[in-house]
């Protein structure tokens, strides 16, 4: 582990296994109660150190980290491939995105912040001027998931460095290596040692970190159940939650299917659908339903599946066998309720093949819950507003994709759909890292993206000056 900038080798080794073939990859040191306490204490003690770093210096550190990441693309992509089971082409893309994320954070570090406050707009403020500056809130606790073990760490670590906040990172148990290597690069770039810890912590022990009042920001990406428990357990902190989804793509009668079909296939099945904005629900206007169903079935049947080390593979293994079993039971439940199987690709002990369903019952879990696997289902509709209403009845609200040439339909979607974003002529899986990313309802609270995450990690401090 990295504890306050130092390598610490604990007596509690935690093994990390490859999802593809189950082989032991390596062991990491599991943080104890005392080591978690030491990390929080070091973060709290280093607030003055990080705030003292001038904005240009923070930006320089972030740019150095980004450069180092790019130089180690193949090594770090290999770690992601092995630990997360992510196909190697997608793992390389994640490293590139992570470097871009840090470069965007470097821009935010240099950006002027705060605003003038017109206190003399009222009589009591006459003879005074006022302005705010944004100041880092203090130590940040970042809890990250397995599916983007580098870029989602960067979406928390980068804004913390830009804001001048110490940070403790708890990576997912299945995928700690990329975060640990990133931590080493952060220190090599010049970040104060005691202002950074990367702690492999078992899930059962994480509540101790969350409840520690020395953390002023808790940023979590993961399941909705865990996320809301974290918010309840940390009333002392600014809590940002990026949680689950049940993402839909809507295709209107004028949708360009040549554009839509390959994007739906990638959005539903890339990385075995283990993305919170993976395409789960395809809604198509009745006049185009038969054509789309046929084209998606042909394309889904050809999805390259298997070893994530192969350059052509799109759909690799699930993160563990428990999730393979979960997903297969959900598919069986839907079929028992009357769903038809349009496509069922061959799988294995660790792989669920690309699956396409139709006629899924209203109460089946592949419809109501977050699938987080390579399963999509298709429905047709006659009335767009009714479709909006049906989507809003679900408990998630992250992103929706919409294929149409009618701007009026898009404006209605923005007004009526209870989601964080509507993506035009693309699938909900689209994310550009500068976006304000996040959802509503059980999909989360707050927004990520460098600019927006920096706002979450800072607070306005007002100065009122006499001017008479």
* Mean pLDDT of each 10-residue bin along the chain, 468 residues long: 94 93 96 96 98 96 98 98 98 98 97 90 96 96 98 98 98 98 98 97 91 98 96 96 96 98 98 98 98 98 97 97 97 97 93 97 97 98 97 97 98 98 98 96 96 96 94
Contact assessment for residue 317 and residue 272, using Cβ atoms and an 8 Å cutoff: yes
Contact assessment for residue 84 and residue 319, using Cβ atoms and an 8 Å cutoff: yes
CA angle 274, 277, 283 (to 5 degrees): 115
pLDDT value at residue 14: 94
pLDDT, one tens digit per residue, over 307-328 is 999 999 999 999 999 999 999 9
Task: Please report, in angstroms and rounded to a whole number, the separation of the first and last CA atoms in the chain.
Answer: 57
Contact assessment for residue 221 and residue 143, using Cβ atoms and an 8 Å cutoff: yes
Give the number of C-alpha atoms closer than 13 A to the C-alpha of residue 67, restricted to the C-beta side: 9
The yes or no reply on domain 248-433 and CATH 3.90.1520.10 is no
pLDDT value at residue 203: 87
pLDDT value at residue 290: 98
For the chain, what are the domain ranges? 2-243+443-466, 248-433
pTM of the model: 0.96
The catalytic residues are 242, 276
pLDDT value at residue 12: 86
Gap between the Cα atoms of 142 and 154, Å rounded: 10
- CATH classification code of 2-243+443-466: 3.40.605.10
pLDDT value at residue 11: 77
Gap between the Cα atoms of 420 and 425, Å rounded: 17
Per CATH, 2-243+443-466 and 248-433 having the same topology is answered: no
Indicate left, alpha or beta for 446 from its phi (over 0: left) and psi (-120 to 50: alpha): left
């Amino acid at each position: 582990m990295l504890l306050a900038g130092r390598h610490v080798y604990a007596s509690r080794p935690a093994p990390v296994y490859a999802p593809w073939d189950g082989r032991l990859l390596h062991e990491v040191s599991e943080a104890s109660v005392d080591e978690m306490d030491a990390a929080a204490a070091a973060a709290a003690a280093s607030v003055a150190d990080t705030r003292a770093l001038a904005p240009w210096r923070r930006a320089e550190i972030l740019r150095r980290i980004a450069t180092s990441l790019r130089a180690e693309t193949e090594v770090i992509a290999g770690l992601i491939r092995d630990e997360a089971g992510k196909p190697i082409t997608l793992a390389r893309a994640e490293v590139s995105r992570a470097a871009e994320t840090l470069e965007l954070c470097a821009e935010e570090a240099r950006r002027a912040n705060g605003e003038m406050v017109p206190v003399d707009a009222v009589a009591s403020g006459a003879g005074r001027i006022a302005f705010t500056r944004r100041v880092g809130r203090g130590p940040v606790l970042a809890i990250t998931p397995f599916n983007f073990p580098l870029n989602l760490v960067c979406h928390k670590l980068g804004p913390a460095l830009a804001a001048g906040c110490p940070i403790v990172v708890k990576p997912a148990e299945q995928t700690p290596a990329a975060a640990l290597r990133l931590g080493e690069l952060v220190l090599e770039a010049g970040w104060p040692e005691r202002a950074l810890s990367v702690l492999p912590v078992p899930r059962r022990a994480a509540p101790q970190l969350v409840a520690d009042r020395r953390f002023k920001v808790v940023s979590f990406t993961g399941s909705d159940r865990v996320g809301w428990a974290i918010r309840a357990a940390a009333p002392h902190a600014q809590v940002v939650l990026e949680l689950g989804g049940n993402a839909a793509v809507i295709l209107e009668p004028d949708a360009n299917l040549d554009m839509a079909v390959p994007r739906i296939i990638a959005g539903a099945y890339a990385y075995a659908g283990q993305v919170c904005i993976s395409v789960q629900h395809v809604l198509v206007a009745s006049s185009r339903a038969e054509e789309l169903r046929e084209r998606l079935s042909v394309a889904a049947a050809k999805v390259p599946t298997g070893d994530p080390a192969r350059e052509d593979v799109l759909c690799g293994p699930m993160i563990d066998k428990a999730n393979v079993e979960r997903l297969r039971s959900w598919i069986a439940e839907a079929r028992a309720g009357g769903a038809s199987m349009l496509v069922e690709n061959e799988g294995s002990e660790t792989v669920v093949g690309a699956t396409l369903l139709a006629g899924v019952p209203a109460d089946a879990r592949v419809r109501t819950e977050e699938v987080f696997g390579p399963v999509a289902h298709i429905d047709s509709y006659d009335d767009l507003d009714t479709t909006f209403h049906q989507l809003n009845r679900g408990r998630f609200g992250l992103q929706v994709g919409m294929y149409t040439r009618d701007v009026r339909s898009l404006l209605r979607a923005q007004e009526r759909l209870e989601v964080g974003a509507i993506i035009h002529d693309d699938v909900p899986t689209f994310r550009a890292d500068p976006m304000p990313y996040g959802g509503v309802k059980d999909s989360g609270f707050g927004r990520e993206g460098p600019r927006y995450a920096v706002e979450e990690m800072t607070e306005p401090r007002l100065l009122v000056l006499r001017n008479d």
